[in-house]
Structure 1
Amino acid sequence: MTRDIYRELQERLDLFSIGFPPAPSGVEITILKRLFSEEDADLFLKLTPLLTPAEKIAETLGLLADEARTRLADMAGRGLLFSKTKGDTTLYAATPFVHGIFEYQVNRMDKELAELMNQYGMEALGLNMLQHGGSFLRTIPVNQALTPDNQVASYDDALEILKSKRTIVVTECICRKKQTILENACGKVVEACFMFDTMAEYYLAHNLGRQVTVDEAVDILGKAREQGLVTQPATAQNPDGMCNCCGDCCGVLQAINFHPKPAEAVSTNHYAVLDRDACTGCETCVDRCQTNALAMDDDGLAVLNPDRCIGCGLCVITCPSEALSLQAKSPEQQYQLPKDGMDQMVALAQKRGIL
């Protein structure tokens, strides 16, 4: 039987992160053929997600060290592998499709790939996002929406996350860039996603973003929130990235919006509360909400559907009558987060029944 290396690659990628499931049309194979040669696919299949020196990989591949280094560096440069340099040694690892190969195409995204990814999102990846998006990204509140007595853990505070990082890189949102290419853009800021530390160093090494200071990052974060973007770091106490997402373009939010109860599909420790007696019916909150949790009732006042609220606080900070507030969930309802990215990947795999 002839080896179907691209199907093998799809099945391997489906083991990582939120997966890479087959689509009815087979568009996922078209995407892989667009990105990987057969030689690339064969090499990827011989790697694991554990960072490994090129010299060790050369032994596994049966190649001379120089040849292995050249091939590995080339694939990492095309966003098909993750790499990390420590001193004179570069380590390589297989990487998930999301977050990973897809996002690493930010400088190579063109109309053909954008159309393929849009199709794949509608046919297959969106369903996986819907089922597992809450384990991949989590919603954290806008600090302005919190009352002084509403204490927030450092990993639920965007500013504290930024302050804790040694390296911060800002890059373009791959979702909004894709929709821009397809002429479906929402018009909101594109350069709004952060990568941290080791992940940031990968982005710098491959010219996928630019390094910024904490102050610059805070300024970008503020502009993103002014435009109504939801801040979503990776679901770990020590996240390696933090996105600022819109319901129009973001794959995770788009998928979650198909859920009848988005509040159950995300990891969030807060929820909004509406005081209808204080509402003036200005409709500002309706425009701000990215999950359609707020609407106008027949009496001209807002109504809040708690099943759709993901606790971002964007509505709270722009309510002119202060009719909206943000509350913390009870201690027993608080999410327990994995410590870091590797623990997050294991947790995702366990949730999907892979481990």
Structure 2
Amino acid sequence: MDVYERLAQQLDEYSVGFPRTTSGVEMEILKRLFTPQEAELYLNMTLNLESPQEVAERTKLPLKQIKSLLESMYSKGLLFMKEKGEKREYGVVPFMVGFYEFQLKDLDKELAGLFERYFEEAFLKKASQVMPPLRTVPVKRVVETKATVLPYEDLKAIIAQKDKIAVAKCICRVQKGLVGKGCDKPLEVCFSFGSHAEYYVKKGMARYIDQEEALRILSACDEAGLVPQPYNAQNPGGFCNCCGDCCGMLLALKAQPKPSQAVYSNYWAKIDEELCIGCETCLDRCQMEAISMVEDKAKVNLDRCIGCGLCVTTCPTDAASLVLKPPEAQKTPPPTARETMFAMAQLRGKSLIPISFRERS
């Protein structure tokens, strides 16, 4: 089987998958990004971080060749890399969240166009929603006071726990802009933490910021009507601030008949009809088209509400609020990103053990 066909198969094992198209545009993307040698090496690596020596020993290839390939793939955003002193370790990443986002610095009009075709033809329709890699949390402390807000549901608490924060431009809005479908929302709004922040900064895709600036950016995102979406783990490596016009994961969620059931969010919006003055501010703010006007009052469609709270923060009469979903509808994210990846694979009937490894055993 062609190495790119095998690569597409392997990518479909990870995260939300790598659905195929009838046009084959996904293969054009892979051939644009990976050389045949790089594709072969990807197939012989795992999500676990490894040293060049470990990769060379397993693949039986010369260490010098492996180092060159790993550095090439890292420079192109096809691998994650973490430095430990003077040593480097590398691991493969999914398509999304993964090397799609890592194209931020090198994205051009041609590649953006290929991504756009892929999203329209397959990814937004067929990518798995059994457990999304991102979840939705309230933009601010806008939850009714009787509800306990857990630290991983509180953006300020998430930021307060991080000592290394970086901010980058939104890959989705950059990509949409290159194909003439961009919007006017802020660009520099995507956060990464810890080793993920180091990766983004080292590759020239982001800059370090302190907690104070991070909170200022969060406030600007709320004003702009962006939905905060951390990675779907209690200790996320970062989070995006997404719009319903450009952002892939939010667009895929928006396309669902009942986004509320697919999203990892524990809240719904509620409108007090007695306080609602029918100003329709919340209609423009809602990225899920979950609010409509009924007899001059805002009404929330709970099947579409993802609990972001954008309708709450600008309601002039405090008619809107967030309330906890019933216990049976609440979802607890896995503790770590690694556990999230395992859970996603299990729910999809996939394995994080590379196909080539399984074939050898």
Taking the aligned partners of 1:351 and 1:24, their CA distance within structure 2 comes to: 26
Instruction: Give the partner amino acid of 2:278.
Output: G
Q: Secondary structure of 2:310's match?
A: coil
Select the residue among 135, 140, 148 that pairs with 2:137: 140
Tell me the SS of whatever aligns to 1:315. helix
**2:161 pairs with 1:164:** yes
Counterpart residue type for residue 92 of structure 2: A
Q: Which residue number corresponds to residue 89 of structure 1?
A: 87
Equivalence for 1:345: 341
Superposed structure 1 runs of 4+ greater than 6 Å apart = none
Question: RMSD over aligned Cα, in angstroms?
Answer: 1.4
Match for residue 6 of structure 2? Answer: 8
CA positional deviation for 1:229? 0.3
Report percent identity of matched pairs.
44
How far, CA to CA, are the matches of 1:143 and 1:107 in structure 2?
Answer: 31
Find the counterpart in structure 1 of residue 248 from structure 2: 251
Structure 2 residue runs without a partner (length 5+): 352-361
- Offset at residue 147 of structure 1 (A): 3.4
CA distance in 1, matches of 2:181, 2:119: 15
**AA at the equivalent of 2:30:** L
Distance 1:322 1:9 in 2: 52
Q: Which AA in structure 2 matches 1:310? A: I
Shift of residue 67, structure 1, vs aligned partner: 2.8
Give me the whole-angstrom Cα distance separating, in 2, the residues matched to 1:279 and 1:129: 38
Q: Aligned to 1:52, what secondary structure does the other structure show? A: coil
* Residue 152 (structure 1) shift: 0.6
CA apart distance, 1:142: 2.2
Q: CA deviation at 1:260?
A: 1.5
Q: Give the counterpart letter for 1:252 in structure 2.
A: M
Secondary structure in 1 matching 2:197: helix
What is the CA–CA distance in structure 2 between the aligned matches of 1:47 and 1:324, rounded to whole Å?
Answer: 49
Q: Return the offset for 1:337.
A: 1.4
Contact 1:281–1:301, Cα closer than 8 Å, also in 2: yes
Q: How many residue pairs align between the two structures?
A: 351
Residue 206, structure 1, aligned to residue 203, structure 2: yes
Match of 1:188 among 166, 173, 185: 185
Aligned to 2:300: 304
Q: Name the CA distance, whole Å, in 2 between partners of 1:287 and 1:22.
A: 34
Q: CA deviation at 1:352?
A: 1.1
Distance 2:322 2:57 in 1: 56
Name the amino acid aligned to 2:117.
Answer: Q
Moved more, 66-75 or 210-219: 66-75
User: Is the 8 Å Cα contact of residues 169 and 196 (structure 1) preserved in structure 2?
Assistant: yes
Report if aligned partners of 2:19, 2:127 keep a CA contact under 8 Å in 1: no
Show structure 1 runs of 5+ residues with no match: none
Superposed counterparts of 1:1-355, under 5 Å = 3-129=1-127, 131-132=129-130, 134-297=131-294, 299-355=295-351
Amino acid at match of 1:89: K
Q: CA deviation at 1:128?
A: 3.7
Query: In structure 1, how many angstroms separate the alpha carbons of the residues matched to 2:137 and 2:203?
Result: 29
| 1:332 Cα offset (Å) | 4.2
Structure 2 CA distance for aligned equivalents of residues 256 and 94 of structure 1 = 26
Q: CA deviation at 1:130?
A: 6.0
Deviation at 1:300, TM superposition (A): 2.3
Amino acid across the alignment from 1:238: N
Provide the rounded CA distance (Å) in 2 between the counterparts of 1:214 and 1:129: 34
Structure 2 Cα separation of the partners of residues 339 and 264 of structure 1: 21
Looking at structure 1, the residues matched to 267 and 306 of structure 2 have their Cα atoms a distance apart, in angstroms, of 7
Q: Which amino acid aligns with 2:142?
A: A
* Distance in 1 separating the partners of 2:135 and 2:35: 35
Q: Is the 8 A contact 2:45 2:92 kept in 1?
A: yes
